[in-house]
Amino acid sequence: MTLMLAGLLMAASCANSSQNAENSENKNEMQEPATEIEQAQQSKMQRVAFVPTESTPDFVDAAERSVDAVVHIMTKVVRQSTTYNDFFGALLGQLYGYPGQTRNNTMVAYGSGVVLTPDGYIVTNNHVVEGADEVEVTFNNKVKKTATIIGTDPTTDLALIKVDATDLEYLTFGDSDNVRIGEWVLAVGNPFNLTSTVTAGIVSAKARNLSILGEGTSVESFIQTDAAVNPGNSGGALVNTKGELVGINAAIASHTGSYEGYSFAIPSNIVRKVVDDLLLYGETQRGYLGIYPAELTQEIAEKEGLENIEGVYVAEVTEGGAAKVAGVQKGDVVTSINGKKVNTVTQLMETVRQYRPGDNVNLEVNRNGRHHNYELTLLNEAGNVDVVKKGDSFYNSEFGLMLQPISQNDMSRLNVKAGLKIVEIRQGRFMNSGVPVDFVITKVNGYTVNNKTDLENALKNSRSRRTTIEGVYPNGMMGTFYY
């Protein structure tokens, strides 16, 4: 069975109000006033009174609240290609840059999106708008508008776009943590360009990790349903019987590329956190516990003398990380975060993903059969609580890579002194190279690279016709590539 992102074939911002006074200076940047999205969400929740559902669910009201708030998205990607009249022209072009005929190739793709505010903020999947030169949004009333991409987060496959509009129908967030297995849900989107399509099903599982977004910092904790989702549904809404948004439809499991029984959605609590970050900072703000988690198996439980196989095993504790500072030790078992039980690595990652650096969380830990509670302050990847700004990353069109300078934590973990981490792969040399996101480029043509200027100089000063890339995989293995 093939797992694929549907549409092209994928938190609550729980700012802790009990910040210590001495930490307020570092955290003031993170505690911004409510965003336009938050204000709109709060306003509508105050106005709309939902009627409790009967024992037999009625989907009519939920469908009516949803169809006008889910939009059709068409994207255009323009790529240039060079053609030659004959074989020798092509050979000269490859060897010596002999000019050929340049033409533009336009690729068109389709997906869905969910309106979050009356003035036109729309959430969709990153893979729906990734690399797009033009984004067109069509509403249920057939009105079309051009959208601007506000920000994207490949690690969760989410994107925030904006159209100029007023008085749009929009959906309010539900609490995905409270979604229960067996609960009825609706999937709303535009499969096969069939606009405003509604399908129903139940939640069949939670916290599914499909390993379709890559390794490293990607977060996968899907809500699994049997509501029919097909190509074109990507970015559409998963709503409960109250008409609340509980997920963004993202992927299907299929042999054929069409729906065969299971679909997957990104939980709304993660969606809310990511879109707020993109609106406030232009980049997502990720809090880290500073541990390497592992699934707690029966073998590990017996080795550690644990009676129950409940929780997430702490395989390693990062030096200088939040957990280490608080007192968490290797071999501990994390059983809950802020009172929410975690029993898998995916559940733990989903929960932490809903917080920002600087937020305080409580970890309940089982150590040798005794339970301990630790208060710790989440840190960012660089080991502090600073805001990660959009300008820290940059795009290199020659490689088709979004890059950012390596953090101190990664320097220590990978045993390197400098480098540029790949945070996104777009059209270009690396698209089909097998090089993954989170690969760290340490040298280009023999020159050490640690920022945009280093990379540009390394490419400019090369005396060879081919480019040599040296770097480190996320698991620490070295790699060298030639282009």
**Domains contained in the chain, CATH given:** 1-284 (2.40.10.120), 291-377 (2.30.42.10), 393-482 (2.30.42.10)
Q: Where are the alpha helices (DSSP H) in 174-327?
A: 268-281, 298-304, 322-326
What is the block-wise mean pLDDT of the chain (483 residues), using blocks of 10 residues?
53 38 48 79 74 66 94 86 56 52 78 96 94 92 94 89 96 96 95 90 90 64 93 94 95 79 93 94 88 93 87 93 94 95 93 94 92 93 77 74 78 81 76 79 88 81 76 87 77
Closest among 231, 182, 230 to 206, alpha carbons compared: 182
pLDDT digits 0-9 by tens, 99-141: 556 667 788 999 999 999 999 999 999 999 987 889 999 999 9
Asked whether the beta carbons of 359 and 338 are under 8 A apart, the reply is no
Question: CB 69: neighbour CB atoms within 10 A?
Answer: 23
List the catalytic residues: 127, 157, 234
For the record, the structure tokens of 429 come out as 């040399």
For the record, the structure tokens of 241 come out as 């019987």
Give CA–CA dist 279/121, Å, rounded.
10
- pLDDT attached to residue 303: 87
Closest among 24, 28, 17, 31 to 338, alpha carbons compared: 17
Q: With H, G, I as helix, E, B as strand and everything else as coil, classify residue 275.
A: helix
pLDDT digits 0-9 by tens, 399-426: 878 888 887 667 767 888 888 998 878 7
- pLDDT attached to residue 14: 35
CB-based contacts of 43, cutoff 8 Å, min separation 6: none
